[in-house]
Amino acid sequence: MTKTLFINARLIDPVAQTDSLGALLVKDGMIAEVFETAEPEVKGAVVVNCAGHCLAPGIVDIGVKVSEPGERHKESFRSAGRAAAAGGVTTIVTRPDTLPAIDTPEVLEFVARRAAQDAAVRVLPMAALTKGREGREMTEIGFLQDAGAVAFTDCDRVITNTKVFSRALTYANSLDALVIAHVQEPNLSDGAAVTSGKFASLRGLPAVSPMAERMALDRDIALLEMTGARYHADQITTARALPALERAKRNGLRITAGVGVHHLTLNELDVADYRTFFKLKPPLRSENDRLAVVQAVADGLIDIICSMHTPQDEESKRLPYEEAASGAVGLETLLPAALRLYHAEMISLPQLFAALSLNPSRLMGLETGRLREGAPADLVWFDPDAPFQLDRTNLQSKSKNTPFDGARLQGVVLGTWVGGTLVGDK
Amino acid sequence: MTFNAQHLLGIEHLHPVEITTLLDLADQYAEQTRRGVRHKDVLAGLTQINMFFENSTRTQASFELAGKRLGADVMSMAMQASSITKGETLIDTALTLNAMHPDLLVVRHPHSGAVDLLAQKVNCAVLNAGDGRHEHPTQALLDALTIRRAKGRLHRLSIAICGDIAHSRVARSNIMLLGKMENRIRLIAPPTLMPTGMDEFGCEVFTDMREGLKDVDVVMMLRLQKERMDGGFIPSEREYFHRYGLDAEKLSYAKPDAIVMHPGPMNRGVEIDGNIADDINRSVIQTQVEMGVAVRMAAMDLLAQNLRAKRAAREDAVC
């Protein structure tokens, strides 16, 4: 029986919404006791002195792209696991937009096996909602669920055929499967590289109105009223979509929403002179949208903050802006970037960890995300104030496409534990 | 020296003094060309490569002629036919060319920002001959010179830019240049061809041609870029001509001595009435073409001076 005692820890509890000094005992991979005193006596325990820094439930990141199968040169389970451990992420929920798409139990089993072999953190795979993510026929949702798929999504492809989508939702509902959708009206946003506005006009780039997000969300909400399915909008990034989300929640629909950390910390102007590392999907928004979305996270209207980790190699990014691939890596920068909101006094640490750990755990039906007896000891120990300048070449990810290269950030992960085992430390 | 740029990528980063310096020199070149004075020594020994990733006749010919008049060794490459179709990336093409040590690189590309990207990878002077919907600086400069010669000044004029602004790099560069020189800019376009946020650039925005043309000194027409339109922006060309095409009746709302400009090639009967385009009292379209060569000579002359100064400084540092 192994015992680890974390003393002098600033415990961040997203359930009680507290941030206080205490200690925590881990036994056999589970949290055995939480102490209100900083230095309790426990016999036979290995002591970790947290030195007054934060100890919080490990981050559960929904929507991580690991490029296996198909593009292992961009990111493998080993490199993604290392990146997650370095970033305080203890569970990654992976996307099925691989090559080929994860749309059969066979491919899912391959992914689960690779993850078990190589990844340092917990991996929960998602599967495609339609075959080949083509929006025509639904996948074998039941078999995939049996094989371990935790949610169903076509990732950044929107199912344009409402008949197909409503049937998939209805069927998924019968299995109580979670459906995750990208909210972006596909015709309006076709070919767009940035959000419309003065900046887009100045740079002469094809642009999409922020209204495209609300249009897609409105449609999906109508379908939820019809089908009653369990639904999560992957990224809500505009102010205009928020009232619709609020109404849908108030009406008792089973809807939750997430947002990528980049949309919380960057805006459209960061693209500057066609910097393709800032090309995301959906594109970065105006500053007003960013502030509205940050407020929505603080209010709990948006439930989840994720990294939308999307590895891309140099070749797919070193192109003219319109032709360059979208997406950014984020596993290692998720926490320090999110801490910008804490340092800007827009959000407290317990609120932040509700969005990073507790809410995604609840959505996935996990016991993690909590600092209480009986919960798995998935923990992150970090100094929220330690400053550093990010050098992308030091990232653990195989791909280095981060928009934060050279950025000054605060917040260093000192240790990451999965099931009581140390998987990454400074 | 009042022109410090290493490249000519856009009007956005030029200072008004740099613009004036360039226009003054271009003015001299225009006069001397008319008198038959040759300047084969200015770019002697330098290599100019024209890389056009998009079809062009006039701009390419203009750059070629400008380089030849100044004595450069000029090579033109039509890029569709070469390595791009074999899958080579823009940056690889740039590096390959860079290894051949050109001195002046003239680039046109269908994507916004592509020329900026290329300029980061080469160590010669890069001239943007048009990138996507972003900028076309030499066009704006030649328009400015044409206006200055016709109106005697390039400030406090009321200038209307009409037509397909959404797809036009010419419009963006002109808005930037004419704004820097403190002119009043009026933009006239159907709302589907007007980019968002244009009023924030300090422009007045109109959807009615007659209202927009009222008392302007300069009418700048734009080509309807049919090749960039991927869906219905306008109902038909005849309705477009009826509402936005420049004819004598609409032009009568402008000042009696207002000049008419067009960057070419023209769609006669779509955005401009042939009679207006050919009216020697109003149309300065032929002058624009003439000034185009002069402006490009001036731009390459100034960039070559900066390039030589930079290389000399580097050699001094080595010695």
Residue B84 has pLDDT above 60, yes or no: no
Cα–Cα distances in angstroms (integers) from residue B229 to residues A192, B80, B168, B209, in the given order: 14, 20, 11, 22
β-bridge mates for residue A415, sequence order: A381, A425
Select the residue of A191, A204, A323 nearest B169 (Cβ to Cβ): A204
Instruction: Give yes or no: B86 in active site.
Output: yes
Rg of chain A in Å (alpha carbons): 21
The active-site residue, picked from B58, B121, B214, B255, is B58
Taking an 8 Å cut-off on Cβ atoms, the answer to whether A320 and B91 are in contact is no
Interface A-B: count of C-beta contacts within 8 A:
69
Regions of chain A short of the pLDDT cut 70:
1
- Report the C-alpha gap between B27 and B65 in whole angstroms: 17
Instruction: Report the candidate in B272, B287, B204 with the shortest Cα–Cα distance to residue B241.
Output: B272
- Report the C-alpha gap between B123 and B116 in whole angstroms: 13
DSSP label of A304:
E
Encode B259-288: b = buried (16+ Cβ within 10 Å), e = exposed.
Answer: bbbbbbebbeebbbbeebbeeeebbbbebb
Q: pLDDT over 90 for what percent of chain B?
A: 79
The active-site residue, picked from B109, B133, B134, B136, is B136
The active-site residue, picked from B59, B138, B146, B287, is B59
Tell me whether A287 touches chain B (CB under 8 Å): no
pLDDT of the residue at B201: 87
pLDDT of the residue at A252: 96
Could you read off the pLDDT of B206-240 as tens digits, one per residue?
999 999 999 999 999 999 987 766 668 898 899 99
DSSP label of B200:
G
Query: How far apart are the CA of B100 and the nearest CA of chain A, in angstroms?
Result: 22
Alpha helices in chain B (DSSP H): 16-35, 58-69, 90-99, 114-119, 137-151, 169-180, 209-213, 237-244, 248-251, 274-278, 285-318
The active-site residue, picked from B7, B108, B148, B180, is B108
Q: What mean pLDDT is predicted for residues B195-199? A: 90
Token look-up 């939750």 returns: A256
Taking an 8 Å cut-off on Cβ atoms, the answer to whether B113 and A315 are in contact is no
Residue A5, classed as helix, strand or coil, is: strand
Average of per-residue pLDDT values in chain B = 92
- Taken as a whole, chain B contains a residue count of 319
The pTM (predicted TM-score) of the whole model is 0.92
Tell me whether A44 touches chain B (CB under 8 Å): no
> CA torsion angle for A327, A333, A334, A337 (degrees, to 10)?
-100
pLDDT of the residue at A173: 97
Query: How far apart are the CA of B198 and the nearest CA of chain A, in angstroms?
Result: 7
Domain spanning A58-364, CATH class = alpha beta
Query: How far apart are the CA of A102 and the nearest CA of chain B, in angstroms?
Result: 29
Q: What DSSP string runs through A243-303?
A: HHHHHHHHTT--EEEEEEHHHHH--GGGGTTT-GGG--SSPP--HHHHHHHHHHHHHTSS-
Taking an 8 Å cut-off on Cβ atoms, the answer to whether B132 and A204 are in contact is yes
Q: What mean pLDDT is predicted for residues B261-268? A: 93
Residue B41 has pLDDT above 90, yes or no: yes
DSSP label of B284:
-
Could you read off the pLDDT of B174-187 as tens digits, one per residue?
999 999 999 999 99
Those residues with Cβ within 8 angstroms of residue B186's Cβ, 6 or more apart along the chain or in another chain: B158, B159, B160, B161, B203, B204, B205, B206, B212, B213, B216
Taking an 8 Å cut-off on Cβ atoms, the answer to whether B111 and A203 are in contact is no
CB A204 within 8 A of CB B134: yes
pLDDT of the residue at B94: 85
Taking an 8 Å cut-off on Cβ atoms, the answer to whether B89 and A315 are in contact is yes
Mapped to the 3 state alphabet, what secondary structure does A356-419 carry? HHHHHHHHCCCCCCCCCCCCECCEEEEEEEEEEECCHHHCCCCCCCCCCCCCEEEEEEEEEEEC
Q: In what order do the strands lie in the sheet with A255-260?
A: A152-153, A178-181, A230-233, A255-260, A304-306
Select the residue of A201, A273, A318 nearest B196 (Cβ to Cβ): A201
Instruction: Report the candidate in A237, A243, A254, A253 with the shortest Cα–Cα distance to residue A363.
Output: A254
Q: Can you give the residue ranges of every domain in chain A?
A: 58-364
- Taken as a whole, chain A contains a residue count of 426
Residue in chain A lying closest to B121 (CA): A318
Residue B78 has pLDDT above 90, yes or no: no
Q: Which residue has the higher pLDDT, B199 or B148?
A: B148
Query: How far apart are the CA of B110 and the nearest CA of chain A, in angstroms?
Result: 10
pLDDT of the residue at B1: 54
Q: If interface means Cβ-Cβ distance under 8 Å, which residues of chain B face chain A?
A: 12, 89-91, 109, 111-114, 116-117, 131-135, 169, 172, 195-198, 200-201, 230
ipTM for the predicted complex: 0.87
- Report the C-alpha gap between A126 and A102 in whole angstroms: 8
On the 0-12 / 13-18 / 19+ scale of CB atoms within 10 A, A410 is middle
Q: Which residue has the higher pLDDT, A85 or B1?
A: A85
Residue in chain B lying closest to A208 (CA): B196
Residue type, position A185, single letter: E
Query: How far apart are the CA of A160 and the nearest CA of chain B, in angstroms?
Result: 19
